[in-house]
Structure 1
Amino acid sequence: RHYILDLMRVTPRDSNYIGLQHRFCVLRPELVASFVEAESIKKSPTEKVPDAPTESNGQEPDDIASGSDATAASVEEHDKSDETPVSTPAESNDMTAEILFNPNVFTEYKLAGSPEEIEVDEALVKKVGSYLLDTVIPKFVQDLCSLDVSPMDGQTLTDVLHSNGINVRYLGKVAGMIKHLPHLWDLFSAEIIVRSAKHVVKDILRQSPDHNIAPAVAHFLNCFFGKVLAASSKGSTGSPQSKTQKKSSESASSKKGQSAFSQLTSDGVWSDIKEFAKHKYQFEAPDDVRVGTKRVAVLRNLCQKV
């Protein structure tokens, strides 16, 4: 017997990404738990514990002992006579500090309830989004700067982000706050480039037939790490070699079942990667990103993700 679990709306939508193009952007459970804990701490009353008495008010030790015994006996009798359960302040705080989210806000579904209730639900979800931007991400950046958190590669970086309740789509925002740290900047920029390249190569593979998967991957890697020019720009137009290449390219293009990956160039691939990084992660890739990438580490990370 098989079951299907719809986990998309277990947590509410991310109020920082609203719209049909962001319909899959939800908050992480770690962030929701952190927000609920922070709100409970704010609402819980501060209780002062009285200090222990340091003076005996001039009483003798025997008098103090006899007085304490009498007090203990009276308290014990009072406890036995009173059997009515009394709720502690901690239990009452747990009951009143319960925070419930509506996972249907900021969606295309029609919400039930009065406009006032819907407004309250939306305000609560917006408050979580503000908590992420104003508290969680700055605290995470502070931990990175103080070396309390030291991710070594893309996988550990992803794990650390998730453990702090930060979605991967905020990589660009975090990267913009640690530009003054070269080792972290290289790590974040490489992770964004790899994730953007993953989507580009997957689009290429979807458009390629099964028997052209290997040539498509090889050509993409050549464009990604090398310098592949357009077919028309190779060689001079008047040389016999260029004419031969033109004839061969025309005959190849006329073949049935040729895939579009053969028209890819390095400039086109990197343009798509930069465009996707800007759209998905709000990250402006520098011009020297092609030169500054560590090829072995990037290739390993890309193979693990694809």
Structure 2
Amino acid sequence: MLPWADEFMYLTSMPCKTAEEREIRDRRAFLLHSLFVDVAIFRSIAAIRHVMESTDVSTSIKIDEVLHSETVGNFSITVTRDSSDASCKLDTKIDGSRATGMDSKHLAERNLLKGITADENTAAHDVDSLGIVNIRYCGYVAVAKVNNYEKTIVTSFKPADITDQPEGGAHALNINSLRMLLNEANATGEKKLPTQSHRQEELTAAQTYAENLLKESLQNLEEEETDKQSFMRWELGACWVQHLQDLKKSDKDKKQGDGKEKKKTVNKDVKETKIEGLGKPLKALKHPKNAVDASGKGSSSGNKSLTDTTSSGESQKVKPSSVEPLQGDCITSENEFLLKDVLLDSAFTRLKDSETGLHQKSPSELIEMALKFYDEVALPKLVADFGSLELSPVDGRTLTDFMHTRGLQMRSLGRVVKLSEKLSHVQSLCVHEMIVRAFKHIVQSVIAATSDMRQLALTIAAVLNLLLGVPESEFSGSSPAVHPLVWRWLVAFLKKRYQYELTGQHYDDVRKYAILRGLCHKVGIELAPRDFVMDSAFPFCKQDIISLVPVHKQVACSSADGRQLLESSKTALDKGKLEDAVNYGTKALAKLIMVCGPYHRMTAGAYSLLAVVLYHTGDFNQATIYQQKALDINERELGLDHPDTMKSYGDLAVFYYRLQHTELALKYVKRALYLLHLTCGPSHPNTAATYINVAMMEEGLGNVHVALRYLHKALKCNQRLLGPDHIQVIFFLNIKEFF
């Protein structure tokens, strides 16, 4: 096995001053991290399976009790049992307290300092985050970690020769291949269909078991205090510094504009009246040190009377006011020394050169200021971007990505709902994501509490019936069609975790297939492909649960320079600078292929963006080729229902339409529309935009009446979501008049 600590520490010593040097470093970091993740997952799954075969789960196991531990060199794996209490959340964050061994206060300070000093080398130099992977599998949690970084001597270390991935990464590890088959009858093709009564008896008994677990969890949930200690993401610090720099730049531009106006006025006055001596003081102002020297010379020679007239009483009046700045300077210097102790010299210099003044603050002051920025700027800005459609999440994954890249925690979903009063589609997505995350804890706890693996498929089916089925017993009209115990637990959980009051009206609008999709993705459940009757008491049976797939967390490793080039290309496209957008997009694609390989999701994103840019330049053929490449990668790497795959379907449909392949375009756009209905539903701006694309293509085939029907759907959807005065609504009205 590789000496992982030495290999990761070697990355920090590689040259990284130029873009070319960083490209070489990032490529090695990507290959090394990919190899580490593969090894960590394989060995963790093997360790978990060893524990499953040798440990009696029926005996009581404490939370965080280590069931298995192995260490090879500086690589270690620890296996613990997942919590059987749905109200208890295990810390599985890559940079959380459990992984770092730090308390919440010092961890928040560490992450914030990392964010405000971040640059293009931050990800590659954060070896602690690179060298850890968390895996959840069949009710167990494994942590694979690299240790003993402090004992590493980089100067005398010779790095290993890491070969490139075969075929550009096309045959990288598919984690679905490590699934645990739960229903061997399904896997082998045998057909053992129990009687209807026997099946319901099994499900009812298993559901009773899940209800008992939920009752205990509800009691614990109601007794626990609200956790005020919140985790701080390092991305928040980076966004905060960017915000402060943007503010300073806008203020500077404003002052320059005002200065030009004042200069015109002053020049006009100078022409009218010449004021002697005006030039000399202005020159002194440009050089404060020279001004002090000049004033000193003047007072000693010709301005002595002015000095003499200053009485001792007046000088005493000046002294008290001068003490406060001195004290402030002392505090500032103390804070600087404090930060210098915890930061590298290069990081402190970057913070000082950012001209934000944050280098003069203490860690506690920085935390307080960052939280204020979080509440007053970051959250409202996110909602404003949602309202302007600059950001348009379509499911929980895109919503999570948008929030995490801005350093926002998912615990703020309740506040996002309150801030999005006029954005019903955003509120709906947030409520769905909160419910999915709540139900995830219930399913994981039931899996962890199941001692017999042969009963796991039945137990999962029973808990899904409990959460998503309609109870046969009558329920009051004021409460939604859900089990009363589940409803009580859900309301309590959302109140405790998200400070959000869930009402029956919100739950009535829930799309159960979207909830099921989110649950399967987060827990790793593989279901049989069939149409589930969600209005019944038992939508799922044992045979529907095919397998459990490992769910892992790792840090994303790519190219910061490549991401920056992508952002520059997007910005240039928004400003209409198509030539710059093409140049930036081409450079981004080349860099990401060099660092991540030709089959990575980041590479697919670069292909997709460059395709859109080329489409706007009129090069429809090349745009279609690039978008087809992006679609191929997304389907293979992310799945058929991933938001990036959906976007590729929609964009490719538009490109084929412009190439007059209307029938092919219609197939792609209807695929995108189907997936949008599945994920975000018909009441979403992206769905409305897809409606109009369908209308244009139907009109191209001569189906004018069908086209008008889709246009009407789009108009009604946007009027309801965005209001009658929104630019999207006006656009649709103009299009409808064209028809």
Q: If the length of structure 2 is used for normalisation, what is the TM-score?
A: 0.26
Could you tell me which of 225, 243, 248 is aligned with 1:38? 243
State whether structure 2 residue 483 is matched by structure 1 residue 275: no
Report deviation, 1:132.
Answer: 0.5
Unaligned runs of 5+ residues in structure 2 are 1-72, 77-98, 113-224, 261-348, 475-481, 524-739
Q: Deviations over 1:90-118 (max 9, x none)?
A: 999617657369xxxxxxxxxxxxxxx9x
1:171 aligned to which of 413, 425, 440: 413
Q: Alignment RMSD, CA only? A: 3.7
Cα distance in 2 for partners of 1:185, 1:220 equals 26
The answer to whether 1:148 aligns with 2:390 is yes
Instruction: State the shift of 1:42 in Å.
Output: 5.9
1:166 is aligned with what amino acid? L
Aligned counterpart in structure 1 of residue 457 of structure 2, from 214, 235, 238: 214
Aligned residue number for residue 509 of structure 2? 292
Q: Structure 1 CA distance, aligned partners of 2:228 and 2:484?
A: 28
1:251-262 equivalences in 2 (<5 Å):
none
Tell me if structure 2 keeps the 8 A contact 1:31–1:165.
yes
What is the total number of aligned residue pairs between the two structures? 214
The corresponding residue for 2:372 is 130
- Cα pair distance change 1:288/1:40, threshold 3 Å: closer
In 2, Cα distance between the equivalents of 1:214 and 1:220? 10
Distance in 2, matches of 1:286 and 1:91, equals 48
Q: Tell me what 2:109 maps to.
A: 12
The one-letter amino acid of 1:2's match is: N
Corresponding residue to 2:471 among 228, 231, 241: 228
Q: Following superposition of structure 1 onto structure 2, how do residues 231-250 of structure 1 map, counting pairs within 5 Å? A: none
Of 354, 358, 361, which residue of structure 2 is paired with 1:99? 358
Q: Distance in 2 between matches of 1:145 and 1:200?
A: 33
- 1:147-187 CA-to-partner distances (Å, cap 9, x unmatched) read 11100111011101111221111111001111332222211
Alignment partner of 1:284: what SS?
coil
Match of 1:197, SS state, is helix
Larger CA deviation: 4-13 vs 188-197:
4-13
Provide the residue aligned with 2:429 in structure 1. 187
Structure with the larger RCO, 1 or 2 (CA within 8 Å, 6+ apart) = 1
Distance of aligned partners of 1:13 and 1:214 in 2 relative to their CA distance in 1, 3 Å threshold:
farther
Kept in 2: contact 1:200–1:272 (CA 8 A): no
Distance 2:519 2:351 in 1: 51
C-alpha distance 37-179 of structure 1, shift in aligned 2 (>3 A): closer
Aligned mates of 1:91, 1:134 — CA distance in 2? 26
Residue 26 of structure 1: which of 231, 253, 256 is its match?
231
- Inter-partner Cα distance in structure 2 for 1:123 and 1:275: 34
What is the distance in 1 between the residues matched to 2:472 and 2:448?
23
How far apart, CA to CA, are the structure 1 residues paired with 2:246 and 2:415?
A: 28
Work out whether residues 411 and 498 of structure 2, in 8 Å CA contact, stay in contact via their aligned partners in 1.
yes
Is the helix fraction higher in 1 or 2?
2
Alignment CA distance shift 1:289-1:206 (3 Å): farther
Deviations along 1:50-101, one digit per CA (max 9) or x if unpaired, are 98xxxxxxxxxxxxxxxxxxxxxxxxxxxxxxxxxxxxxx999617657369
Counterpart position of 1:121: 363
Contact 2:379 2:408 survives alignment (8 Å) = yes
Partner Cα separation in structure 2 for residue 95 and residue 132 of structure 1? 20
For 1:94 and 1:184, the matched residues in 2 are separated by 38
Change (3 A) 1:146 1:215: same
Q: Say whether the 8 Å CA contact 2:111–2:233 is kept in structure 1.
A: no
Aligned-residue offset at 1:270: 2.4
* Distance of aligned partners of 1:93 and 1:32 in 2 relative to their CA distance in 1, 3 Å threshold: closer
CA contact (8 A) 2:236 2:408 kept: yes
1:160–1:216 Cα change, 3 Å: same
Retained in 2: the 8 A contact 1:13–1:125? Answer: no
| Residue of structure 1 in register with 2:610 after alignment | none
Q: Percent identity over the alignment? A: 28
SS in 1 for 2:237: helix
Query: CA–CA distance in 2 between the matches of 1:185 and 1:20?
Result: 23
Structure 1 runs of 4+ aligned residues shifted over 3 Å read 1-5, 7-11, 19-23, 37-51, 90-93, 95-101
- Preserved contact between residue 153 and residue 187 of structure 1 (Cα < 8 Å): yes
Instruction: Return closer, same or farther for 1:91/1:270 CA change in 2, 3 Å cut-off.
Output: closer
Contact 1:32 1:128 in 2 (8 A): yes
What is the alpha-carbon distance in structure 1 between the residues aligned to residue 357 and residue 75 of structure 2?
30
Q: Cα offset for 1:203?
A: 2.2
* Cα contact 2:245–2:355 (8 A) shared by 1: no
Hey, what's the Cα distance between the residues in 1 that align with 2:508 and 2:355?
Answer: 57
Query: How far has the Cα of 1:275 moved from its partner?
Result: 1.2
> Is residue 2 of structure 1 aligned with residue 74 of structure 2?
yes
What amino acid sits opposite 1:303 in the alignment?
Answer: C
Instruction: Give, in whole Å, the separation in 1 of the partners of 2:467 and 2:245.
Output: 50
Aligned partner of 1:167: which letter?
A: Q
Residue type at the aligned position of 2:498: Y
Does residue 203 (structure 1) correspond to residue 445 (structure 2)? The answer is yes
Secondary structure of the structure 2 residue equivalent to 1:288 = helix
Paired residues for 1:55-66 under 5 Å: none
State the match for 1:67 in structure 2. none
Task: For residues 256-304 of structure 1, give each alpha carbon's deviation from its aligned partner in whole angstroms, at most 9, with x where no partner exists.
Answer: xxxxxxxxx8211222122111111111111134432111111011110
Larger strand percent: 2
Q: 1:41 to 1:291 in 2, by over 3 A?
A: closer
Match of 2:652 in 1: none
Q: Does 1:266 align with 2:480?
A: no
Query: What is the aligned partner in structure 1 of residue 402 from structure 2?
Result: 160
**1:240-262 CA-partner distances (Å, limit 9, x unpaired):** xxxxxxxxxxxxxxxxxxxxxxx
Counterpart CA distance in 1 for 2:393 and 2:445 is: 29
